Structure formats: C-alpha cells, structure tokens
Amino acid sequence: MNGAERLEAIWREAWRPPDKAPPWEWAERHINAIPYSPVPGRFRSENSPWIRDVMEAMVDPAVRQVCVLASVQSSKTIAAELCLCHVIANLPGPTLWLNETDEDAKDQSEARLQKLFDECPAVRALYPANPHHKRNRTIHFANGMPLWVVGAHNKTNLQRRSIRWIFADECWNYPPGHMAEAEARVTAFGWLGKCIWMSQGGEEDDDFHRKFLTTDQREWTFECLECGHRQPFKWECVEWSKSAKDEFGEWDFEEVRRTAALRCEECGHHYEDSDRARRELNATGRFVRMNPKAAAQNVGFHWNALCAMGWGQLAELYLRAKAAARKGDVSLLQQFYQKRLGLPWREYVEDYKLEITKSGYKRGETWEEEGAITPRTGAVLAAPLPERKGLIPLRFLTVDCQLDHMFLVVRSWSADGSSCLVWNERVLTFTDVEEVQERFGIHPSLTFVDAGYATYDVYRECAKRGWVALIGDRRLVFPHKSRGGQRIQRFYSPRRKVVLTHRQSCVVHYWSNLNIKDTLARLRRNQDPGAGPTWEIPDDIDEDYLAQMEGEQRVKERGNWIWKQIGSRPNHYLDCEAMQTAAATMLKIVGREAAEVEQGAEMSSRGER
C-alpha cells in the first residue's frame, strides 16, 4: 500500500459513519464466538431474546441510566460485554468497567473481556500498536478510546477520571455510596454520559435497589399460547405435585422435578418443564413497563431464572432452602431470591406458610366432628350434632398477651384429638376477648390466657371471668399424684389456685414449653384423616398467622433442646396454638394420656381426676 492509498484508508476510516444496526444484531455479525459461553459458535440472540431490548437501551442516546436486575447465569453480563464491543467499534469514549474488587476486575479483563475482544475483528483491529497501551486492566485503543477495568470497592478508582460510559457489574455488593461516586464521573459528558448498572438481587433498599426503583422497571413477559394473556414469569405460578413425598413425609425431589410445570395465571393452562416450552414462551416475550411514570431517561429491566432454567430444578432449590429456613438458616432462601429470582432480599411471608392440604372450609364455620364435654362429669364425648343439647362444645379459646394488644385463637377439637382452626384475631382489650368467647359459645373454663406477661392483670381478668391462666415453663414435666397415691409425670402442672382477694381467685397451670411444642409439631404434620388425628386450618387463613407459626425453631443450647424464636419473627399465634395443645393435653385428648372416645377427662378448672 503506497502513501496515497494509506492516506485514503485513514480518511475513509475517520469518516466512516457508525454502524446503525441494533447492537445485538451487530454482535451477531461481528463476534465469531463467546469463548467462555457454554453455547459454542457465534453469538445468537435468539438463545436469550430478552437481552435484545437491554442492549438497544444501552446505546440509546435518549437514555442516561440503564438498570438490569436479573438472575445469575441468564446472559445479564454477556449483554453488557457484547455492547461494550459495539461501543469500542462504533461509539468510542472514555469507558469504566466496574467489578466488585480490583482482583475481580483483573479476572474479568483477562478471562472474559480480552478473550471476547480477540473474537471480534472490529475490536481486535483497534488494539494499540504500543504493547504498553494494552495491559491487564487498562487498554488505550487505536481510535483514542481508553478502557479501565477496575474494582468499585477501591474508592480511588471512582475519582479523577471523566467518563462517558460506565458499565458496573454486580452492584449489589458495592459499598454504600460508591455507585453515586461512580455516577458523578459522567457529569462532564452531559447528555452523552451513560451509566449501565447490572446486578443480581441485593438487600431491599440498598443503593442498587433504590436506583432500580427510579426506572420504568420493565418486566420480561410471555403470552399464553392458549388464551393469549400476557404475564410475567412468576415463581408463584410454578407448581408441582404436593403428594411428591415419601412415607416419612420428606420431599421426593425426583418426583418434584418430574411434575413441575408453569401455570398460566389467567386460564390455568400448564406448560411442561422443558427447554422447548421455554423457547416457545420466550419467542412471544417482550418487556412491559411496570412503572410508566418514571423519567424517560431512566430505563430498568428485570427477569428471573424461570425464562432460562428448569422449573423442577428451581423447585428443588426452593424446597431445600425453605426447609433450612424453617430451622433458622435463611442463607439458602436468601440466595434463591437474589440469584434465581433476581429480587432484593427480605423475608417473604409465603416462604413460611404451612405445607398443608386445604381443608375445604372457611373461618368461623361449624365443624361437624367437634366433640363435647358433659357439664357434670367433664367426660369427653364424640357426640353427633343432634345429641349435643346440654353439652359443652369441645372448643378452646387461647390468648397471648402483649403490651397493648393480644392475639387469640379459637380451635375446635374432636374426642380423638383431631382439631380445626375456627378463628384467629388480633384484639386490643380483654373485653374484646370476652366478646369472641361469647360469639363462639366457649365455656369460660375453656378460655386460656397467657400470664407470662402482665401476670397480675391476667390473674385479675381470669378471676373476674372464670378463665384459666397458663404459663409456659422450661421444665420438661411436672409431678402429679394419682388416686392410688402414685406419682405421675405430666407435661403440665397440677391445678394451682391464686387468691387475689377474699372473693376472687383464679386457676393457673404451668406447661412444658419443649414437650407441648413438640406435641404441637407432631400434630401439625398430619392433615391425612387416615393417618391419625388431623390438625386443620381454613382455606382463607391470613398470611400473618402462617408467618407466625414459623417463628420458632427447635435448637440445642448448653446441651438442652429448646424452642427458640428465630431472629425477630413474631410468634404469638404459635404460642396460642401451643396453649391449645396444652389444653388438649390436660383434657387427655392428645398426648401420652389420650383418652379413648367417651372416656372421661376432668376440665382443667375442675382439677385432676
């Protein structure tokens, strides 16, 4: 090439207009392979169609901020890396690529970016002739564009430079305030300056989450092939067989995976868990703005692993994480939400719901299996409805007292130990409790109030209304004397009478916190009438109740097992249900001394038999 030809080539290159094709289309034509991708061959956007809009927004001159909140291993970072190649070749300007630490940035540059550049002739042609201008974390391209790949944890990396393009990966793990430090670097470029933030879910209300909330929050959706309804990929629409359990009640994960399916939220059509089904749904996909009132220059994208990963595999991850969370370890559940669902972490109530079969009734309904107590002898009977006249319904009201409010539970019991939740409520006064007692026709001596807090006030109210005071205790058993003079160990104390005045007294029982809650845990496991006494809750039970029932875990401390509150989770309804179990144990309808049908048992207010 002679001098004139060289000069002409330089002139043509200088005046070559930028490629106006969408960046994903440009990448399909100019990038031979993604070396670190599990998919061999050239880049094909149809494998991850959700990144097309993302890449277009990244180079849209009308957009200043792009936030990508998405699951891991779903082409989130690849979209930005491909777009960076497009920027180098077509829209050069000082660029900062941020990873969490300098070590992460070095690995990103060597293991990913530079390998990708080598597979893109349009970028490789711009490598600097001077080897000193191409280092591990800094490249000065021949077209004048500098690229710095650095760590966001080092605040010095976020200062001094004027930047046109910022690509920031895994922002959830940046120190507070460092996103703002980086964003300030694009100020000098005015409308040309652009920040692209990418991350899995972090913590609710962290810097990245707040930034995402300023965007239009576009959600990846699909169109149901049956009814045409457009909807996001929702985790709550993933279903699997609830009977996929072994004889010990443990999940059969092979069966969970086999039966997993995605349900249309509109028509209920189920899609099998297969790559073909996901391809068909993604082919109809598009982003829908969830926050259309956001400023037009702030664009956000969200998608989760349901569009890219097996639903059965996700179900297994979730169930294992949920089981660990119920034992107090929420780390796996946190990772599931952050990494698989691409959501900021908080404790979601639905993760602590009881895994039960719906019992087919509503709160407040009468239960036909309810037992009865004879007023004179206190015998527990399995009396059919027509025969209950003059009998006391086998129905307990238990109350957990707090500083300025109370939680209560009404549960109906059968003579064989099965039970059915009738009512639960948060109330303010003892008068409210009395109103619930009267509404459900509960005998005063079957109303049990926790006296562990504000003890004297509870004693006074119990004495006034004929209620029974209960106090949970760390003791495992309490000694009783039988009629024959033998000592018997039981999970509750003998009847104790507390005298308040010469006219007022109340009945008090202590109960073993460990053994009674162990009994409750065993009762809760069974909703199958063929496998013994059932423990049922209504179909319309509220979320607060379900969450509070998972507020404690059984742990070993100093060599002893105890039921301990998990963090700051409320557990008041759990305490109410424990008192229900204590009352049922005292009437000997559950527990070691459970009576046969029609075998009498004294009510707690009448003392031991």
Strand partners, 554: 563
- Residue 472 DSSP SS3: strand
Residue 153 has pLDDT above 60, yes or no: yes
Write down the pTM of the prediction.
0.67
Residue 372 has pLDDT above 50, yes or no: yes
Q: Given this model, what pLDDT does residue 609 score? A: 25
Angle between helices 76-90 and 51-59 (to 10 degrees): 40
Q: What's the half-sphere exposure (Cβ side, CA atoms, 13 Å) at 154?
A: 13
> 27: which 2 tokens?
């990448």
| pLDDT-derived band at 356, boundaries 50, 70, 90 | low
Query: Average pLDDT of 365-378?
Result: 87
Cα distance between residue 50 and residue 219, in whole Å: 10
| pLDDT-derived band at 389, boundaries 50, 70, 90 | confident
**Tokens 């960046």 found at:** 23
Helix runs in 101-192, H state only: 102-108, 114-118, 121-124, 178-183
E strands present in 327-446: 372-373, 380-381, 392-393, 395-401, 406-413, 419-427
Helix runs in 252-345, H state only: 253-259, 275-283, 311-326, 331-335
Looking at every residue in the chain, the average pLDDT score rounds to 88
> 75: which 2 tokens?
């082409």
Cα distance between residue 380 and residue 596, in whole Å: 9
Nearest to 588, CA basis, from 445, 352, 378: 378
> 198: which 2 tokens?
């990418």
For CA atoms 434, 439, 444, 449, the dihedral sign is negative
286-290, 331-335, 357-361, 588-592, range with the lowest pLDDT: 357-361
Q: What is the pLDDT of residues 526-551, one digit of tens each?
A: 644 455 678 999 999 998 998 899 88
Give me the phi and psi of 257, to 5 degrees please. -65, -40
Q: Given this model, what pLDDT does residue 144 score? A: 92
Strand partners, 560: 557
Cα distance between residue 448 and residue 439, in whole Å: 16
CA dihedral 557, 563, 569, 571 (to 10 degrees): -160
Q: What is the pLDDT of residues 49-108, one digit of tens each?
A: 999 999 999 999 999 999 999 999 999 999 999 999 999 999 999 999 999 999 999 999
> 271: which 2 tokens?
């899609």
Cα distance between residue 166 and residue 87, in whole Å: 11
CA angle 395, 398, 400 (to 5 degrees): 170
Q: What is the pLDDT of residues 476-492, one digit of tens each?
A: 999 998 777 778 889 99
| Termini Cα distance of the chain | 112
Cβ contact 199:171 at 8 Å: yes
**Tokens 């509220």 found at:** 542
Q: Please name each of the domains of the chain with its CATH number.
A: 20-213 (3.40.50.300), 218-289+304-348 (no CATH), 372-606 (3.30.420.240)
Query: What kind and span of H or E run contains 85?
Result: helix 76-90
**Tokens 């562990």 found at:** 452
Query: Average pLDDT of 420-432?
Result: 95
> 255: which 2 tokens?
């069966």
Q: Given this model, what pLDDT does residue 604 score? A: 35
Q: How many CB atoms lie within 10 A of CB 245?
A: 14
Stated length of the chain: 609
Q: What is the pLDDT of residues 209-247, one digit of tens each?
A: 999 999 999 999 999 999 999 999 999 999 999 888 876
- Residue 94 DSSP SS3: coil
Residue 532 burial by Cβ neighbours in a 10 Å radius (0-12, 13-18, 19+): middle
CA angle 560, 561, 563 (to 5 degrees): 135
Sort strands 146-151 and 95-99 into parallel, antiparallel or unpaired. parallel
Give me the phi and psi of 14, to 5 degrees please. -65, -35
Residue 595 has pLDDT above 50, yes or no: no
